[in-house]
Structure 1
Amino acid sequence: MTATQTERTRGRFVLIGCGDAKTDQPVAARDLYTSSYFSVKRSYAEAAVQWARTAGRRANSWGILSAEHGILMPRQTVAPYDTTIEDLRDEPIEGESHYWLPSGERAESRLDRWALRVHSALADWLRRPYAADQKDSPCRELVVLAGSDYIDALRERGIFDGRPTAIRTGRETHTALPPKATVRFPFQERDFDGMFDQMEWLSDRTEELEAAAKPARRTELTAFDGGFERESATWQASHSGVDVEGTEQAGLDAFETVPERFLATRQTSLTTDGEEE
């Protein structure tokens, strides 16, 4: 892994769009969406946030952009839902509007309110502490992989740029995105012909990322949604390369072939005067 590749894997957060096809029961968010398109995005996200093999590690993480929930963490249990961006677009908020969007417009529709939820969740997610002595956000790069309906709704409202303002007090609310974070939108930055073109690009990038991280996999930590997982050492019984049942059965088979003379034992008991009985 080159110095440039290493630097790019430090402080990387990946946000991927959800999908229409879902399971029919509550599961972890990473398993809720069942389409091949989402699966490819998830594989890319998991590969992109692996630890860099450096002494000065910085946290990496990935999440899911949802029309119903805003931002979901991969291990968060979620029930199936049917909400789409179009369902929110022209639906007014009940009651008085309390916020100006970062774009300067009033938050008056459900889509506006959703955008504010995403902004607040982004601020919390990108700043949450990964170390006790960490004061600044670890995020250096935010990669957003979602359809234009999601991205346009957020960018038009300034969600990746400014801060919402409370109408009554005139004060800015919620923390803006980390100042050192670069926001990228690969789907919008490249001239893709469609979903399958995106999937091919993602698959190629995933292979490159996995190949770059391969030398470090046995000794380095991998961060998914802020949690840490270490691959099992080769000597651990839980390692996928060990056939535990087969090993146990082989031991039993070998035991059964031991000559009987080695299995016989002499049982004795002691009397009170010390003589064998």
Structure 2
Amino acid sequence: MSDSDSPVDVDIPDDALCLVACGKSKIRTYDEDLERHVPVPADQLYTSSYAVVKRNLALTCEDHRILSAEHGIVAPDHLLEYYDTKMGDVPDSEFDAETPGTLAWKIEQSLTRWSEQYDDPTIILLGGTDYIDPLEDVYSRVPATVRFPLQEAELPGMMAQMSWMSDRAEERQA
């Protein structure tokens, strides 16, 4: 890769809130005896290698949360049962941040509460455009700088994103 083709480096402040977009691959938590799914910490629910790399980078931030298509903003230790909703499954009506109770409204409320604790808050979203585009209005209204490093770094595909995130996590842990 030539210098002109190198990804743009994106600074991730230590005190940022890192949001990890949920993933499709999840641990199956069905308990035959109970005849239902058993809740697990949100941070452990998503099992793909992509999710693990995002989580590892997020763990280098002062704070991190899961951005769930089903539940909104979730603390990593919050117990969740298995679910099968991705952002593309969410009805358009849920992206109306003006309507209390919608997914967008809940996300905006959570991010605003977090942001109001800081003088110059930064939120880092580790996820694809399916977690950015439908929530653009929310991100623009939150009183924080919201960054999308996987898009800003102009990384060509999931493998390049995983490599970039692994490198950033390693650098930040050193």
Please tell me the TM-score bracket, short chain as reference. Answer: 0.7 to 0.9
- Match in the other structure for 1:123: 112
Shift of 1:139: 5.6
Answer whether contact 1:12 1:139 (CA < 8 A) is retained.
no
- Match in the other structure for 1:35: 48
1:160 pairs with 2:139: yes
Shift of 1:101: 4.1
Letter in 2 for 1:118: I
1:204 pairs with 2:171: no
Structure-to-structure mapping, 1:238-253, within 5 angstroms: none
Shift of 1:69: 0.2
Letter in 1 for 2:52: S
TM-score by length of 1: 0.51
Q: Which runs of 5+ in 1 are unaligned?
A: 1-6, 50-59, 94-99, 128-135, 163-176, 212-277
Compare relative contact order (CA 8 Å, sep 6+) and give the higher one, 1 or 2: 2
- For residues 85 and 183 of structure 1, the distance between their equivalents in structure 2, rounded to whole angstroms, comes to 19
Shift of 1:137: 2.5
1:44 pairs with 2:57: yes
Map Cα deviations across residues 175-203 of structure 1 (whole Å, 9 max, x no partner).
xx33xx32210112122111111000001
**Which of these residues, 78, 81, 87, is aligned with residue 80 of structure 2?**
78
- For residues 74 and 13 of structure 2, the distance between their equivalents in structure 1, rounded to whole angstroms, comes to 24
Shift of 1:114: 1.5
Map Cα deviations across residues 13-43 of structure 1 (whole Å, 9 max, x no partner).
1111111111122210010011100000000
- Match in the other structure for 1:263: none
Structure-to-structure mapping, 1:124-273, within 5 angstroms: 124-127=113-116, 136-137=117-118, 140-155=121-136, 158-162=137-141, 177-178=142-143, 181-211=144-174
Q: Could you say what secondary structure the match of 1:15 adopts?
A: strand
Q: Could you say what secondary structure the match of 1:142 adopts?
A: strand
Map Cα deviations across residues 192-241 of structure 1 (whole Å, 9 max, x no partner).
11111100000110110011xxxxxxxxxxxxxxxxxxxxxxxxxxxxxx
- For residues 37 and 186 of structure 1, the distance between their equivalents in structure 2, rounded to whole angstroms, comes to 15
TM-score by length of 2: 0.79
Q: Could you say what secondary structure the match of 2:108 adopts?
A: helix
Answer whether contact 1:187 1:198 (CA < 8 A) is retained.
yes
- Structure with higher Rg: it is 1
Task: Kindly indicate which of the two structures has a greater share of residues assigned to helix.
Answer: 2
Answer whether contact 1:32 1:80 (CA < 8 A) is retained.
yes
Answer whether contact 1:29 1:72 (CA < 8 A) is retained.
yes
- For residues 16 and 72 of structure 2, the distance between their equivalents in structure 1, rounded to whole angstroms, comes to 20
Shift of 1:138: 5.8
Structure 1 segments, 4+ long, off by >3 Å, are: none
Q: Which runs of 5+ in 2 are unaligned?
A: 1-11, 30-38
Answer whether contact 1:12 1:143 (CA < 8 A) is retained.
yes
Answer whether contact 2:23 2:86 (CA < 8 A) is retained.
no
- Match in the other structure for 1:88: 90
- Pairwise CA RMSD of aligned residues? 2.2
Q: Could you say what secondary structure the match of 2:139 adopts?
A: coil
Percent identity, aligned pairs only? Answer: 40
The size of the alignment, in residue pairs, is: 152
Shift of 1:117: 1.5
